[in-house]
Structure 1
Amino acid sequence: MMDRDEMDMLAAEYVLGTLDPAQRQSVAARRLAEPDLDALIADWEKRLSPLNSEYVAVPPSPNLFAHIRRKIEETGKRAGDGIDNIVQITMLKRKLAMWRAAAIGAGAIAASLVITVFASNSVYPPQQDRQFVAVFHRDDTQPAFVMSVDMDSQEVTIRPIDASTPVGKTYQLWIVTDQTGPQPKSLGLLENIASPTVKQLGQFDPAMLRNATFGISLEPEGGSPTGLPTGPAIHGRLISIEH
């Protein structure tokens, strides 16, 4: 259970717009049932809203995002199908996401967040592609793992890129979707990170998998003793590799 400081930080991130879509949806649901969290969010909105008066709204060029996306896709076509090239494309997309979040926060902090969520859904409709990857970064340099998902076979393959296992520890794969609820669900252990690990996702709805958050945590040998992540974790979201 969160203490007061952790809940306050979560409320601040919610108002600033730094949470990913799945986390934001989870907090929005929680504030309906948790008055303390709702009060903290309202307090942050009140404290930060005066900042809007310090800025003049400067809308980006209508073609700016389309231009950035086109550059990313051109990079992808040149890169081919190699894992190293997928990593490069993913890092470009992460930088685009960070730029968009900063631009939104400097405009209208509270009100624009809601608008942005709905606008994003209308501009970028749900992907219907079948091949996806997720890249797990410790930071903005070399990734630790790359995961590929085939929606037709419901097969997931986790490939180590720059990962080592401390003595007495093991890596464990997790997923959070609308289907599983706000708590992570274990997808099993990565028994041998010297080679790819293959697992099945047959019990999940493919439409929900596209919007799922995946995590890899460092756990004691045999896996988490609590049924939830207990050690340091890195996270990834699926991106299509068919465009």
Structure 2
Amino acid sequence: MTDPDDTFGDEALAAEYVLHLLDADERRSFEARLSRDQDLRALVHRWEALLAQLGEDVPDIAPPQRVKTAVLDAVGPPRKTGRRFLPGWPALLGGLAVAGLAAIVLLTNVLGVGRDLEPAFRAELSSEDQSVVLVASVIPATHEIIVEPVAGTPPAGRVFELWLIAEGATAPVSLGVLESDGPTRIRVPDEIAPGVRTGTVAVSDEPPGGSPTGVPTGSVLATATFEDL
């Protein structure tokens, strides 16, 4: 179901996998990746835990008679007068309906469907000589930072890496390596996303793949704080 260019990428795929919304080919492809991708498995476990919580608060609701008729026509043999059914089926069908609605609501909240996906604040990272200029825009609804190059490229054999120094923090946290030839979209982990608005972002030049130590090892070219748009 998920388009290859889907903004939410693996997050949406994991949700669709857990909800059994992928077709057979997509599911086989996804499961092949699961066997070798630890991050993808973590996303699936997260979605399983989120969706498991839905059943805890689902009340017993009897569906209308027309729902009973439609379900039986779709999944069972022709109905006969006096046919008996398992006790509790109305509550089961009602619970499934409510759980389905809750799952849709959860997907909407987590994936950002229907939310404001426009950037709310931005920062301009400029080196002292203006040879490197990057603009970072934040979409709070999805915890994403979009970094667009305006001027400059990394030195030969190096890459730019984006860092966050949260307010009151004693060390920077890497947000990821930037693309060298176009915008970079970064999904900020939920646990550090609240610190983006009031923190400081920085860009350094690093070896391919990013800093091997977890802290900047090359030159810190620019720092900035975010301002509301």
Q: What TM-score results when the alignment is normalised by the length of structure 1?
A: 0.42
- From the two aligned structures, give the one with the greater helix fraction: 1
Choose between structure 1 and 2 for higher RCO, CA contacts under 8 A separated by at least 6 residues.
1
Q: Which has the larger radius of gyration?
A: 2
